[in-house]
Amino acid sequence: MKTWKVKKTYSRGYALGPARIIEKKEIRTVYDKITGDNITAEIKRFDEAVEEGCRELMELSGKSEIFAAHAALASDIALREGVENKIKDKLMCAEEALLETSGEFVFIFESMEDEYMRERAADMKDVCERLLTILSGENENPFEGIEEKSIIIARELTPSDTAKMNLKLVAGFVMELGGATSHVSIMAKNLGIPCLTGAEGVLKGVKDKDFIIMDAGAGEIFAEPSKDLIEEYEEKAGKWREEEKRLRESAGLPSLTKDGIRFELCANAGNPEEVRGAAEYEIDGIGLFRSEFLYMGSDHFPTEEEQFFAYKEAACLLKDKELTIRTLDIGGDKELKYWQLPKEENPFLGYRAIRICLKEPDIFKPQLRAILRAGAFGNVRIMYPMITSVEEIREANKILEQCKKELEEEGIPYKKDIQTGIMIETPAAVMIAEELAKEADFFSIGTNDLTQYFLAADRGNEKVAEIYNSYHPSVLRAIAATIRAAHKQGIKAGMCGEFASDEKAAVLLLGMGLDEFSMSAGEISRVKSRLRETDYKEAKETADNILSKGSVTEVINCLI
């Protein structure tokens, strides 16, 4: 038996069945040059291929919105200009000109630090492959001949590949490349198909039709397992399917506890694609939109227009549901390759987040203007990170008012009554939460940073991992105090840290009075199911009891 372990996993579930190895035909890279007399005809041939490709993609857009995005990429002016120039200047045929131009785009995408932007290289490769197929007149389907439910194993898969599949015959996906934001990963998660990416070496160790077990949650793959292991995982898979069925059945039910208390469930997202995926779930909105993806995935500070289009797309996807955009949160462990931050001994305690924005209005104002403009298209809110004082909120809002005045004078539509909230993620913010609540429209508790600051334990340091624990009584009391302060001033308190997606913690937080839980979209169904089974009065009694405990062990022993 051969086994593989994948470090990072992005889905759950089990799959058992025969492997189907997908090996794509190598793309031809050597072509003959054309003559000067053929330049016009060759450009026309490329334009006709683009026209046909866009027509195919728009027909597929009913299956997934990504194909509409691919159509826009295929007809991109920069792509056409690059191809046309190479045909004219280098006498390349359309195929070679397309390969070279798309390769330049791919290089740019793959050089970016942001994972989402890096994986857009796969989109360009997919579009290029489609156009090359049209130009060559060849149209092979590597998925033909699959007649039984199989586990698809490939180096990499594209949206166009999935369009050729009968997904009813797909038990799972295993890919050597790809990550959380690849379209196949997102699609698999939305369809409930187990998916593992980053499984290096699996193609060398597995043969077509080998029997495979994959445990997506644990990131494990077993080839040619023993009979006992097959029986063990068949039982696990059966229980998992029953649980998934129960969760699907409850997905459309109201977010109410057993005794009728309402709670709000939102998703965290880092880009419009993740918003699109989250919108598939029964969510109340996006509780945290990490705006830094636009900055970290670029080679320059994104312009107001670039930001506006991204925020507008996210707002339109949500329609009337809330989109809470956190303003730029760089520093600490998040850097920009094109803007050098000062070297600091303690970057997590230094020049970061709102501190940068208030010192750099030329960076802050374009973002605020973009958010205000996007607010004209949806239910958008602004959230300031790393707040430690009343003065910081007032200064940020003063700059916001300047932006409103400018937009008004320029006659540009914007959201006049936009709400501004803050993240509670420092001990200072907890201690003056009542004063901050008088200045803010809402709170969002960021437990990841709050825990490390309260416990003086770096969340990325394995040597102090046992100290970093959000169930520590000091952290729980800080959360409870923050919620009380918010409610005293009549504003909502939410949470966007990982703690909100812990099912047991969610019950405890509900008992503390937390209004909004924001988490990864894939965790929402489980948390919702758990809270629907909870009696609010019982949860409140448990919370009151736990808040009197003095150790993590005592707290955990009291959880329900």
Q: 472 catalytic, yes or no?
A: no
Distance separating alpha carbons of residues 388 and 396, to the nearest angstrom: 13
CA angle 466–471–474, rounded 5-degree value: 100
Angle at which helix 524-532 crosses helix 227-251, to 10 degrees, equals 70
Distance separating alpha carbons of residues 471 and 474, to the nearest angstrom: 8
Query: Which one from 128, 183, 195, 266 is the annotated catalytic residue?
Result: 183
What are the helix (H) ranges across 253-360? 272-278, 292-296, 304-318, 354-359
Q: How far is CA 287 from the centre of its chain?
A: 13
Q: Is 326 marked as a binding-site residue?
A: yes
518 forms beta bridges with: 266
Q: 70 catalytic, yes or no?
A: no
Distance separating alpha carbons of residues 32 and 477, to the nearest angstrom: 72
Distance separating alpha carbons of residues 288 and 326, to the nearest angstrom: 6
Query: Which one from 93, 266, 357, 496 is the annotated catalytic residue?
Result: 496
User: How many alpha carbons fall within 13 Å on the CB side of residue 216?
Assistant: 25
Q: Is 477 marked as a binding-site residue?
A: no
Please give the structure tokens belonging to residue 198: 């980053």
Residue identified by tokens 């180096």 is: 155
Distance separating alpha carbons of residues 351 and 537, to the nearest angstrom: 43
For every residue of 115-183, DSSP letters joined together read HHHHTHHHHHHHHHHHHHHHHHT----TTTT--S-EEEEES---HHHHHHS-GGGEEEEEESS--TTSH
Say if CB 179 and CB 156 are below 8 A apart.
Answer: no
Nearest to 374 by CA among 305, 432, 327: 305
Beta strands of 155-284 (E only): which ranges? 170-175, 195-196, 211-215, 220-223, 264-269
Distance separating alpha carbons of residues 33 and 41, to the nearest angstrom: 14
Distance separating alpha carbons of residues 55 and 61, to the nearest angstrom: 10
Distance separating alpha carbons of residues 301 and 326, to the nearest angstrom: 17
Q: Is 410 marked as a binding-site residue?
A: no
Helix (H) / strand (E) containing 403: helix 390-410
For every residue of 497-557, DSSP letters joined together read SGGGG-HHHHHHHHHHT--EEEE-GGGHHHHHHHHHT--HHHHHHHHHHHTT--SHHHHHH
- As a dihedral over the C-alpha atoms of residue 6, residue 7, residue 13, residue 16, rounded to 10 degrees, the angle is 10
- Tell me how crowded residue 560 is: count the other CB atoms within 10 A of its CB: 14
Catalytic residues: 183, 496
Q: Enumerate the known binding-site residues for phosphoenolpyruvate.
A: 290, 326, 448-449, 459
Binding-site entries: 290, 326, 425, 448-449, 459
Instruction: Give the annotated binding-site residues for Mg(2+).
Output: 425, 449
